[in-house]
């Protein structure tokens, strides 16, 4: 593994990373409760990850360059290894100013063997063990940005996969640069007024169901469609996406699946008529929460949620979401939803967080107040630029630690590498959306696809780890190692 700083160096960085020392951030949102007004963005950017879509600018200067590092040739280089994920187009390299000093961000792979290239930055969805840049150089850290779920890369859900990296930025609160609230702009977003119940009652009288399901990505690791299909046997559900579709959205434009992931005003007005939204993530991981959860709350609908097992930690209060796993069966869940649907007073208790003082979860308030990146916030960097500066600050601290050791080995011992841990993803093996694995036929598409991919991810991580450990990049290929590990597993 690449030599990096210990946890002590990470603690030393503390709030120095990104722009915290310069006081960036909206004053209103920094106040406990964050009561700034919310305006719907015309382009739907809230629900589009900035790392994958949309233009991102050069990281803003938020620190004074340190003496001796003024020339670009003397600065540590951060090499973006993942294709297409470079936040400084159209060039190949860009000097960035961060809290601790300056670095050079580059996408030029010819810099891989340069002694100044101190960190390789990877986007998890694009990372493939077979394409890893080997041999791995001892002076380089590997940094992972992966805001998505394991659906995109099961390799990272296993210890051998995630431990390939020194630094991580994921949805998990335990990662080095957490993105747990990447889909929540702020508390003002949760306070959008609720459509009057009388209008929702009129919607029901026109023949619409109490419960909405809008999903066009079917057959995912969380196996959500299997649960919804069973739930439909016990309560009416209006399903508008490609998955289990039984209704059409009112216009052709809204039927475009791309529109369903935006803040389109027409779409939001339509969705807000439903009292309950089925909100099921595509994979089950602690702290992995997307617009499927936050958008219903924004609209004043009650999410009927399955996803992050730690979701209660992040809710505005202890009575704002219905958790599917709290019910022993879809039938029991249907009975509870029907009860709330017929009892306005009990239903409105789930929307109490929209009232002044209704957001009582101090952990949520503190997390929003202290995060170093923003969602559609012109006063904060987006998390892609923020992560880049986090790695820059880390490498500058590591360089200083190495120089201190060279000058006085007795006073400054060699630092142990900082290694990512499984808790930085925290995604268990996929389980059926309804029923037991043993009850599902062997030819079931979910069983064939996702359980197989999960264990293949473990094999790939072990194969790449073996290659790095044995420093063999020519005599044997990644596929040789993978075949050997697969054969061993077959004989267990």
Q: Is the pLDDT of residue 471 over 80?
A: no
Please give the pLDDT value at position 366.
Answer: 97
Per-residue model confidence (pLDDT) at position 478: 80
Check if the beta carbon of residue 196 is closer than 8 Å to that of residue 190.
Answer: no
Residue 245 above 50 pLDDT? Answer: yes
* C-alpha span between 268 and 282 (Å, rounded): 21
Share of the chain above pLDDT 70, in %: 83
- Which pLDDT score is estimated for 492? 53
Q: Tell me if 58 sits within 8 A of 85, measured CB to CB.
A: no
How does 343-354 read in b/e, with b if 16+ C-beta sit within 10 Å? eeeebeebbebb
The better pLDDT of the pair 437, 271 is held by 271
Nearest to 154 by CA among 281, 283, 48: 283
pLDDT of 335-394, one tens digit each?
999 999 999 999 999 999 999 999 999 999 999 999 999 988 888 889 999 999 999 999
What confidence score (pLDDT) does residue 57 get? 31
* Per-residue model confidence as pLDDT tens digits over 137-159: 999 999 999 999 988 889 999 99
Q: What's the rounded Cα separation, in Å, for the pair 307 and 332?
A: 19
Alpha carbon dihedral 414, 420, 422, 425, in 10-degree steps, equals 170
Q: Is the pLDDT of residue 63 over 80?
A: no
Beginning with the edge strand found earlier in the chain, give each strand of the sheet holding 237-239 in spatial order.
237-239, 211-213, 276-280, 302-306, 322-323
CB 177 within 8 A of CB 17: yes
- For 62, phi then psi, to 5°, come to -140, 30
Residue 168: which pLDDT band, with cuts at 50, 70 and 90? very high
β-pair type (276-280, 322-323): unpaired
Please tell me which of 19-28, 146-155, 166-175, 413-422 the model is most confident about, judged by mean pLDDT.
Answer: 166-175
Quick one: angle between helices 452-470 and 478-490, nearest 10? Answer: 120
Question: Residue 36: is its pLDDT beyond 50?
Answer: yes
Task: Quick: pLDDT tens for 75-87.
Answer: 999 999 997 889 8
Distance CA 188, CA 162 (A): 35
Look at the pTM and tell me if it is higher than 0.75: yes
**Which one has a higher pLDDT value, 288 or 31?**
288
pLDDT at 475: 57
Per-residue pLDDT band for 201 (boundaries 50, 70, 90) equals: very high
Closest among 381, 385, 420 to 105, alpha carbons compared: 385
Whether the CB-CB separation of 119 and 142 falls below 8 Å is answered with: yes
Tokens of 71: 């020339």
Mean pLDDT of the chain: 84
Q: In this model, does residue 280 exceed pLDDT 80?
A: yes
């Amino acid at each position: 593994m690449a030599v990096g700083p210990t946890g002590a160096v990470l603690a030393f960085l503390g709030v120095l990373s990104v722009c915290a020392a310069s006081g960036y951030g909206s004053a209103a949102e920094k106040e406990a409760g964050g009561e700034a007004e919310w305006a719907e963005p015309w382009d739907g950017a809230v629900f589009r990850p900035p790392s994958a879509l949309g233009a991102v600018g050069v990281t803003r200067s938020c620190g004074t360059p340190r003496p001796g590092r003024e020339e670009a040739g003397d600065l540590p280089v951060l090499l973006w290894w993942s294709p297409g994920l470079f936040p400084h187009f159209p060039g190949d390299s860009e000097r960035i100013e961060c809290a601790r000093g300056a670095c050079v961000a580059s996408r030029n792979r010819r810099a891989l063997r340069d002694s100044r290239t101190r960190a390789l930055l990877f986007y998890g969805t694009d990372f493939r063990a077979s394409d890893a840049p080997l041999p791995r150089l001892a002076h380089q850290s590997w940094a992972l940005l992966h805001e998505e779920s394991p659906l995109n890369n099961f390799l990272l859900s296993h210890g051998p996969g995630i431990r390939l990296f020194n630094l991580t930025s994921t949805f998990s609160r335990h990662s080095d640069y957490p993105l747990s609230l990447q889909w929540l702009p702020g508390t003002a977003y949760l306070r959008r007024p609720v459509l009057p119940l009388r209008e929702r009652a009129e919607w029901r009288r026109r023949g619409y169901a109490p419960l909405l399901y809008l999903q066009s990505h079917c057959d995912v690791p969380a196996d959500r469609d299997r649960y919804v299909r069973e739930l439909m046997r016990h309560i009416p559900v209006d399903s508008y996406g490609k998955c289990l579709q039984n209704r059409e959205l009112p216009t052709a434009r809204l039927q475009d699946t791309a529109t369903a992931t935006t803040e389109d005003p027409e779409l939001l007005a339509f969705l807000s008529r439903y009292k309950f939204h089925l909100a099921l993530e595509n994979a089950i991981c602690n702290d992995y929460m997307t617009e499927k959860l936050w958008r219903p709350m924004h609209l004043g609908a009650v999410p009927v949620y399955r996803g992050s097992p730690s979701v209660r930690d992040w809710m505005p209060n202890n009575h704002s979401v219905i958790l599917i796993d709290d019910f022993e069966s879809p039938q029991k869940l249907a009975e509870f939803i029907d009860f709330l649907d017929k009892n306005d007073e009990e239903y409105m208790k789930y929307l109490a967080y929209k009232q002044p003082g209704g957001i009582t979860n101090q952990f949520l308030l503190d997390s929003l107040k202290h995060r170093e990146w923003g969602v559609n916030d012109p006063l904060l960097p987006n998390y892609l630029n923020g992560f880049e500066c986090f790695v820059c600050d880390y490498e500058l601290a590591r360089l200083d630690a190495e120089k201190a050791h060279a000058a006085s080995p007795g006073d400054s011992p060699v630092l142990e590498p900082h290694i990512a841990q499984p808790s930085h993803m925290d995604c268990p093996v996929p389980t059926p959306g309804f029923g037991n694995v043993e009850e599902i036929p062997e030819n079931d598409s979910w069983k064939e696809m996702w359980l197989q991919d999960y264990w293949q991810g473990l094999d790939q991580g072990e194969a790449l780890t073996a290659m790095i450990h044995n420093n063999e990049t020519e005599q044997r290929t990644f596929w040789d190692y993978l075949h050997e590990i697969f054969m061993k597993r077959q004989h267990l």
